Amino acid sequence: MKDIYSTFKYELNNTEKTRFTVALSGGVDSVVLLHLAKRFRDEFTHIEIDAVHINHGLSDNADMWQAFCADLCQQWQVPFKAYRVSVKKASRESLEAVARAVRYNALKAHLHSDSELLLGQHLDDQVETFFIRLKRGAGLLGLGAMKQRTHIENGLPVFRPLLGIMRKDIVEYAKVQQLSHINDESNDDIRFDRNFLRNKILPELNKRFKGFSNTVARVVNLLQSQQQLLDEYIAEDAKKCIFHQRFLLNEVIGFSRARIDNLIRYWLQQNNLVLPSQKVLDQVYQQAFNAKIDAQMSIECCGFAIKRYQDALFIVLPQAVPENQDNIGLSSVIIESQEFSVEKRAQGARAPFMDEHVNLRFDIGAEKFTLQHRNCTKSVSTWLKEAGIPPWQRPLVAGIYYNNQLVQVIGLGISKHAFAENGLCWQQKEANEN
């Protein structure tokens, strides 16, 4: 039997992290992973570990599995937390994909800022992922399957220390260590592509071709190396045309189609988003470069949209217009991760009178507004359009009102009628920004 613990210890010793969270489903892979983490913690006492279980409620045995994980962690003195989530699948959505997204969101909410999530995925999982991506027509990046250490779709930092270990070695380790685990009956349902590959196809391929799965794993590693080299070249291009969630189209005029496609994939990957299919990329390219400049482009992807405004593409995440906040005074307020605060400025809005409430409001596009330095009156929407603010961002722009009088559009300017020397100016920033 392969010395799995030595491999696990080597992988974790190559990181500066001292705190790890084990994703514990109760299956053999995650139970072995937790046992290895426990041994590592017992050997290196400065290491902290905990475990988290996500209860999807999709099986009649879900509560029993949660109880099993809780008992196991109590026995091994590992801090444990369980979360119950709701998996609601819309039409044409994959149950596996929806459950995975819900699971990862819950895991990210749980993860401590200095911790890394350990996943029990192994070499056989890697091979299955390769074939699933192959079936979908993935390119170089997709066929590279899973990376050992990465950030997945929602920015969750994950580490897969068992990615080079075959499942049969994990099962053998569990037997030798006399580890109990659960069996998820859904793993036998070959209606799911991964189970079909695992239970029907890959065993036959490994029987026919000795060492087939190991060979595929080596191919995956080679593809990842080639992608890494490609990424280094793409990163140089990206410095010219990619700025966070904005892709500047004028900067890639004259680039080949392949070069642009790779830049778009790189852009989405840097924002921790699920990469779209080649069919969707074709739509992005056609509408971005062949449509009229004022065309309303919006292409829906998995959990986000790609939109065009003027000469740029934008990543647009779903976001509801925040609720208005009345009578906030001059105190800072946090609304959906955004902090609104006021400071004194040489040029700003006058202070509110005693009988005036300070109100923070959104979706104010229809309001008429006279900017102090422009000395003319237009709707807020018109001002925002002239400022280059994309249409979908305009309802999110906040205004400061004294009672019902708009005195400032945050990020745009102060009303002429409320302007004052040595006045007040409201600012907006991320709540955790220093």
239 token code pair: 């410095």
Q: Cα(214)–Cα(104) distance, rounded to whole angstroms?
A: 28
Residue type, 133: R
Sheet containing 48-55: order of strands = 80-84, 48-55, 19-23, 116-118, 157-159, 149-151
Place of tokens 């992290």: 17
Q: Can you say whether residue 331 is alpha, beta or left, with left for phi > 0 and alpha for psi between -120 and 50 degrees? A: beta
Q: Report whether 415 contacts 318 (CB < 8 A).
A: no
Quick one: angle between helices 257-270 and 278-289, nearest 10? Answer: 110
| Whole-angstrom distance, CA of residue 373 vs CA of residue 381 | 17
Alpha helix (H) residue ranges in 156-192: 167-176
CA–CA separation, 268 vs 281, rounded Å?
A: 11
The reply to whether 25 sits in an annotated binding site is: yes
Task: Consult the annotation and say whether 186 binds a ligand.
Answer: no
Residue 211 marked as a ligand binder: no
Closest of 281, 256, 253, 257 to residue 269, by C-alpha: 281
Q: Any idea what DSSP says for residue 198?
A: I
10 Å Cβ neighbour count for 190? Answer: 14
294 among annotated binding-site residues: no
Classify burial at 107, counting beta carbons within 10 Å of its beta carbon; exposed 0-12, middle 13-18, buried 19 or more. buried
303 contact partners, CB below 8 Å, separation of at least 6: 101, 153, 273, 274, 317, 318
Q: Is residue 30 part of an annotated ligand binding site?
A: yes
Q: From the annotation, which residues make up the binding site for ATP?
A: 25-30
Q: From the annotation, which residues make up the binding site?
A: 25-30
